[in-house]
């Protein structure tokens, strides 16, 4: 086991799948592909180039780009050359990327577009390699990707690659991933080959992935979630498809027709909201048909899950409803799936149940960058809606003080790079402190209720989980983003970013005219629409959790304005400070 590492694992897969298609990518609106053999030739060419440029084992190499096949080539080349890849979120600002480059001691960075190059170009003593051959170049040392990569690997460099591979162990640092930084400066999480192999073993025990599977890679590769999944796909000889623009994910699903993939809840929320919004204006007959189809779909798949006999009448009705209604939902996501996966944020239970009724299983899981990422997951053989599943194999999870989830296992990071103080604070007697509040149910399924640092404590002393409110209310078709406010205050208020496509379509249907977004969201009939929708989505909330007042915002929270992280997590402190006056106006004086 100690001799296992990603370089050796993927090399073995390439040997037996040389002519199989490994990856696809779009260029000039056309799909292109590389076989495993072609991909590996490019990996070796780039590894040789970095070695000949003087990079030594353990040196750090940055990757600052949107998803693309070159990202994967670079990552694997680092593995083969014994280097440590340091991904940088493609949306990071100049200040953020400069901090990471300096903290990690990076000397070489691969970039994807002009903005990323411009952000890097003023940092001294780094070399930049660009995936984009059309960049306007200025500043320090620079070369284009195709020029940098060796077309062929000479024997001496090939021998050096083999020698470096022989020095790698399961404990060797594979990558340093900087946390998205919801509070304070990001920390560099050191993950080893062994951390990832722990996760591969867990996946092998519960999920069936083969060389026949196809995935769509649209979450940032700079996030450990998509990165782990991509490694795992390649370890099975499967096909990965790269999408650089995540805004095009729904239309691309129909093209690619993936059989298994990972996602954050926002994708499922958008599909769910669009389907249910269409039902609001459907005829009574269509509404009845849709409701009956979902009911029968749930009954059919529930019995199937529990290995119960399915009555003939239910089988017949299900087949009819599936043909007329449920299959149309599957068509939206590119047809049948072996499974979906959801992580990174809570997924509301009604959404899980809807997809399940349509024959699409979403296996919600839980984890952090520091845990490579999986701590727990639902699986095709053991799942429970409203939970994040059971702990993954070979993992210990317990609930500590204040309800905090603590974890111990082979997936826990080596530590924070250059930061022994933060490492010591995160680890207590071998247990990693997640900062999340959770509980186990009687069947051993884990529920995550909120982040310790994000709990709202009202002036009346009530502890309220804002994520619970935001997940329930934010699934609405007319809501793009929502932030629950109320810490040390009398009641809960919210800042709401409307889904402008939905709102503008509604306004046009009502014959409303407007000259600006600000004018539209200030209308009383628009506020009435949102009051009604917030109330409708709040029926599962306790009285103290319900939103008493809200303000509509004309612009979304963005990474560029510092209000959300690259993984779409809210920076609550930043938002509270930026919108302080607006928040204050929702609370009565005195």
d(C-alpha 221, C-alpha 62), whole Å = 13
Task: Please tell me the predicted confidence (pLDDT) of residue 2.
Answer: 43
- Backbone φ and ψ of 578, nearest 5°: -65, -35
Cα separation of 434 and 376, whole Å?
13
Q: Take residue 472 and report the two structure tokens written for it.
A: 């329930």
pLDDT of residue 183: 60
pLDDT of residue 590 exceeding 60: no
What angle do helix axes 284-305 and 312-321 make, rounded to 10 degrees? Answer: 130
- For residue 588, what pLDDT is reported? 86
CA angle centred on 377, ends 333 and 406, rounded to 5°: 140
What is the gyration radius of the CA atoms in the chain, in angstroms?
Answer: 25
Q: For residue 315, name the pLDDT band (cuts at 50, 70, 90).
A: very high
**Residue in the block written with tokens 């009530």:** 462
For residue 93, the model assigns a pLDDT of: 86
Which pLDDT value is given to residue 1?
39
pLDDT tens digits for range 410-456: 999 999 999 999 999 999 999 999 999 999 999 999 999 888 888 89
Cα–Cα distance for residue pair 438/110, rounded to 1 Å: 39
165-196 confidence digits (pLDDT tens): 999 999 999 999 998 766 668 899 999 999 99
pLDDT band at 585 (very low <50, low <70, confident <90, very high): very high
Q: Using CA atoms, how far apart are residues 377 and 374, in angstroms rounded to an integer?
A: 7
Compute the CA torsion angle 299, 277, 480, 546 (nearest 10 deg).
-70
- The pLDDT value recorded for residue 455 is 86
Render 141-153 in DSSP notation, one character per residue.
-EEEHHHHS-SS-
CA-nearest of 178, 505, 36, 565 to 344 is: 565
Q: What is the pLDDT of residue 270?
A: 93
Q: Which two tokens stand for residue 322?
A: 């599936």
| 306 Cβ contact list (under 8 Å, min separation 6) | none
Percentage of the residues of the chain whose pLDDT score is greater than 90? 85
Average pLDDT of the chain is 94
Confidence of residue 110 (pLDDT cuts 50, 70, 90): very high
Could you tell me where the DSSP H helices lie in 53-150?
69-80, 94-104, 114-120, 145-148
Mean pLDDT of 565-571: 84
174/409 Cα distance (integer angstroms): 18
pTM: 0.91
Q: What is the pLDDT of residue 221?
A: 96
pLDDT by residue (tens digit) across 211-268? 999 999 999 999 999 999 999 999 999 999 999 999 899 999 999 999 999 999 999 9
Residues 383, 363 contacting (CB under 8 angstroms):
yes
**pLDDT exceeds 80 at position 298:** yes
Assess whether pLDDT exceeds 90 at residue 317: yes
pLDDT for residue 325: 97
Residue bearing tokens 């996602």: 263
Q: What is the DSSP string of 478-520?
A: TEEEEEEE-TTSSSEEEEEEE-HHHHHHHHHHTT---SSHHHH
Token pair listed for 332 = 């939206």
Of 134-143, 307-316, 432-441, 505-514, the one with minimum mean pLDDT is 134-143
Q: What is the pLDDT of residue 177?
A: 97
Alpha-carbon gap, residue 305 to 371, rounded angstroms: 30
């Amino acid at each position: 086991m100690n001799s296992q590492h990603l370089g050796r694992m993927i090399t073995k897969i390439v040997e037996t799948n040389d002519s199989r298609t490994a990856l696809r990518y779009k260029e000039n609106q056309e799909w292109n592909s590389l076989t495993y053999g072609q991909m590996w030739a490019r990996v070796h060419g780039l590894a040789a180039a970095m070695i000949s440029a003087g990079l030594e084992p353990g040196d750090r190499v940055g990757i600052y780009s949107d998803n693309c096949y070159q990202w994967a080539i670079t990552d694997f080349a680092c593995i083969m050359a014994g280097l440590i890849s340091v991904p940088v979120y493609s949306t990071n600002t100049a200040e953020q990327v400069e901090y990471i480059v300096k903290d990690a001691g990076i000397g070489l960075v691969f970039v994807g577009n002009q903005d990323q190059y411009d952000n890097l170009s003023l940092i001294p003593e780094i070399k930049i390699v660009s995936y984009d051959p059309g960049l306007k170049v200025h500043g320090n040392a620079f070369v284009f990707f195709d020029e940098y990569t060796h077309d062929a690997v000479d024997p001496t460099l090939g021998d050096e690659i083999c020698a470096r591979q022989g020095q790698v162990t399961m404990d060797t640092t594979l990558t340093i991933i900087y946390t998205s930084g919801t509070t304070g400066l990001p920390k560099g999480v050191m993950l080893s080959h062994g951390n990832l192999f722990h996760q591969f073993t867990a996946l092998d025990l519960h999920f069936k992935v083969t060389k026949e599977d196809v995935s769509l890679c649209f979450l940032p590769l700079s996030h450990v979630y998509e990165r782990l999944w991509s490694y795992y796909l390649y370890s099975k000889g499967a096909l990965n498809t790269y999408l650089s623009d995540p805004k095009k994910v729904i239309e691309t699903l129909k093209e690619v027709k993936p059989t298994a993939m990972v996602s954050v809840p926002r994708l499922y929320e958008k599909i769910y909201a669009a389907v249910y919004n269409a039902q609001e204006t459907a005829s009574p007959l269509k509404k009845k048909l849709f409701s009956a189809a979902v009911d029968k779909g749930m009954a059919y798949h529930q019995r199937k899950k529990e290995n119960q006999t399915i009555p003939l009448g239910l089988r017949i009705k299900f087949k009819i409803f599936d043909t007329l209604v449920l299959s149309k939902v599957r068509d939206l996501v590119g047809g049948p799936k072996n499974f979906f996966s959801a992580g990174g944020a809570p997924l509301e239970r009604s959404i899980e149940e809807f997809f399940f009724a349509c024959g699409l299983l979403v296996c919600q899981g839980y984890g952090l960058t520091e845990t490579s990422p999986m701590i727990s997951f639902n699986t095709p053989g053991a799942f429970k809606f409203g939970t994040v599943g059971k702990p993954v194999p070979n993992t210990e999870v317990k609930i500590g003080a204040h309800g905090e989830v603590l974890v111990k296992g082979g997936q826990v990071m080596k530590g924070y790079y250059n930061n022994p103080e933060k490492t010591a604070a995160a680890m207590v007697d071998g247990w990693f402190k997640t900062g999340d509040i959770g509980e186990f149910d009687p069947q051993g399924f884990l529920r995550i209720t909120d982040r310790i640092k994000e709990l709202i404590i009202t002036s009346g002393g009530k502890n309220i989980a804002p994520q619970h409110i935001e997940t329930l209310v934010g699934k609405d078709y007319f809501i793009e983003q929502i932030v629950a406010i109320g810490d040390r205050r009398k009641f809960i208020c919210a800042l709401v970013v409307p889904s402008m496509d939905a709102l503008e379509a509604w306004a046009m249907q009502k014959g409303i005219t407007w000259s600006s977004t600000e004018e539209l969201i200030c209308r009383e009939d628009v506020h009435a629409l949102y009051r009604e929708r917030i109330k409708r989505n709040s029926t599962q909330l306790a009285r103290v959790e319900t939103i008493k007042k809200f303000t509509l915002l004309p612009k979304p929270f963005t990474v560029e304005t510092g209000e959300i992280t690259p993984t779409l997590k809210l920076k609550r402190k930043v938002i509270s400070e930026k919108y302080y006056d607006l928040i204050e106006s929702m609370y009565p004086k005195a």
